[in-house]
Amino acid sequence: MGIPALIAPGQRLLCGPGPSNIEPGVQAVMQQPVLGHMDPDLFPILDEITSMLAEAWGQTDGLTLALQATGTAGMEAGIESLTEPGDTAVVAVAGYFGARIVDICNRHGANVVEVTAPFGQPVSQSAIADAIEASGGAQIVAVVLAETSTGVRQPIDELGEIAHHHGALLLVDCVTALGGIPVDFTRHGIDYAFSCSQKCLGAPPGLAPAALSTRALERIDGRRAPAGFTFDFRLLEQYWHARPPTYHHTAPVLHLYAFHEALRQLHAEGPEQRYTRHADVGTHFQEGLRRRGFALLAEAAHQLPQLTAVCVPDGVDGKDVQVGLLRKHGIEVGGGLGPTFPAMWRVGLMGTNATRETADRVLSAFAAELDA
């Protein structure tokens, strides 16, 4: 076999639905020497990560850690841990990732009750409450706080109370949310939240930060049968929080370094300031799009700042524009997620890319490609 050449990837402005560009300081810290997963000098790094992460979640009790996993694995870990076969899961579906929750619930033997909304709208919280009533009770209620396939922000302020009133746990997909909009884990009564490292947090893809409430841990302790080993949160807790830790897996140490640095930058800026920055830039970008005549998929009242789904105008080949942006401008934007979705571009202005300059650069590149 011939040996391939050294890789030489080109520079990209990553303005799709993620990954986003990472801060130079975050990537640089990955050049530090590797520590073993049981090295005492790694423990304070783990402690600082969970402490900074809990604050980012707005979490005051339960368990905080980061899975070595994809965001979707974070989703599956929660579903697998908090349900047993035959349980009822009430799932809000108004996009691709709500549908993915349904798929994973089905794979794990849950009875799924879907509560839907058209693409571009959030699911009504009272409809979710009605669905729990109608189904005779549920073990989990699952929603997507920031639906990456539509740019819609799902209201969740009533859901913790609704779920707990029925003895259900509230699972919230925060993949595109964390670091870009507030999650308020404890205040909203969330029981399981998961996210990823590569969007509004500005670290490379590779980790799925997670948060569990005390209620969620009690649910796990009371299972009839244990779930899988990889995402056994009580075993993970013994690694992340016991001192000395109990070996469970070999930690992805360079990703932990990067995540530590990304969280440090989040807290140096201040979470509230970061939310404000994302909100300002999102509004700026979306006003620019509307001024240029573009329609947005999400209802304005529920539009996320950090992720915008732009409808492809009639007569335009959306894929051609995407390729042009990538090849002529070095800008990555996303497309729609499959044939059931309307033709769209998905533009993320997340983390280090949440600046007016980047927003303007993307607007100009779109204009250039559409005039071409």
368 is an interface residue for a copy of itself by CB under 8 A: no
76 sits near a copy of itself (criterion: CB under 8 A):
yes
Which residues, 6 or more positions from 5, have their beta carbon under 8 angstroms from its beta carbon?
A: none
Cis peptide leading into residue 209 (ω within 30°) = no
100 touches a copy of itself (CB under 8 A) = yes
Q: d(Cα 297, Cα 26) in Å, to the nearest integer?
A: 33
Nearer to a copy of itself, 162 or 354 (CB): 354
Q: Is residue 7 part of the contact set for a copy of itself (CB under 8 A)? A: yes
Alpha carbon distance 334, 318 (integer Å)? 10
Q: What gap in Å lies between CA 239 and CA 229, rounded to an integer?
A: 13
Asked whether position 35 contacts a copy of itself by CB under 8 A, the answer is yes
Residue 31 sits in the site that holds a copy of itself (CB under 8 A): yes
12 binds a copy of itself (CB under 8 A): yes
DSSP state letter for 292: T
Q: Which of residues 181-220 bind a copy of itself (CB under 8 A)?
A: 196, 198, 204-206
Which region among 1-9, 273-281, 303-311, 350-358 touches a copy of itself (by CB under 8 A)? 1-9
Is 28 near a copy of itself (CB under 8 A)?
yes
Q: Does 42 bind a copy of itself (CB under 8 A)?
A: yes
The single residue listed with the structure tokens 């590797």 is: 34
The answer to whether 229 contacts a copy of itself (rule: CB under 8 A) is yes
- Cα separation of the two ends of the chain: 43
**Smallest separation, CB 242 to a copy of itself (Å):** 14
> Is there binding between residue 369 and a copy of itself (CB under 8 A)?
no
Kindly state whether residue 73 participates in binding a copy of itself, applying the rule CB under 8 A.
yes
173 binds a copy of itself (CB under 8 A): no
Stretch that binds a copy of itself, among 14-22, 116-124, 274-282, 306-314 (CB under 8 A): 14-22
- Contact status: 313 vs a copy of itself (CB under 8 A): no
Q: How many chain residues are in contact with a copy of itself, going by CB under 8 A?
A: 80
C-alpha–C-alpha distance, residues 174 and 190, integer Å: 11
CB of 208 to a copy of itself, least distance (A): 10
Q: Is 320 a binder of a copy of itself (CB under 8 A)?
A: no
Please give the residues from 245 up to 284 whose contact with a copy of itself meets the rule CB under 8 A. 247-255, 257, 260-261, 264, 267-268
What is the rounded CA–CA span in Å between residue 297 and residue 284? 17
Q: Does 343 bind a copy of itself (CB under 8 A)?
A: no
Among residues 167, 150, 129, the alpha carbon closest in space to that of 299 is found at 150
Q: Does 37 bind a copy of itself (CB under 8 A)?
A: yes
To the nearest whole angstrom, how small is the minimum distance from the Cβ of residue 125 to a copy of itself? 27
Is residue 179 involved in binding a copy of itself (CB under 8 A)? no
The nearer residue to a copy of itself, 17 or 62, going by C-beta atoms, is 17
For residue 147, the tally of other CB atoms under 10 A from its CB is 33
Using H for helix, E for strand and C for coil, what is the string for 147-198? Answer: ECCCCEECCCCCHHHHHHHCCCEEEEECCCCECCECCCCCCCCCCEEECCCC
Positive or negative: CA dihedral 53, 236, 79, 197? positive
C-alpha dist (Å) from residue 60 to 116, 122, 191, 192, 213: 31, 27, 12, 13, 9
| 116 beta partners | 93
Rule CB under 8 A: which of 79-98 touch a copy of itself? Answer: 80
Query: Applying CB under 8 A, does 36 fall inside the site for a copy of itself?
Result: yes
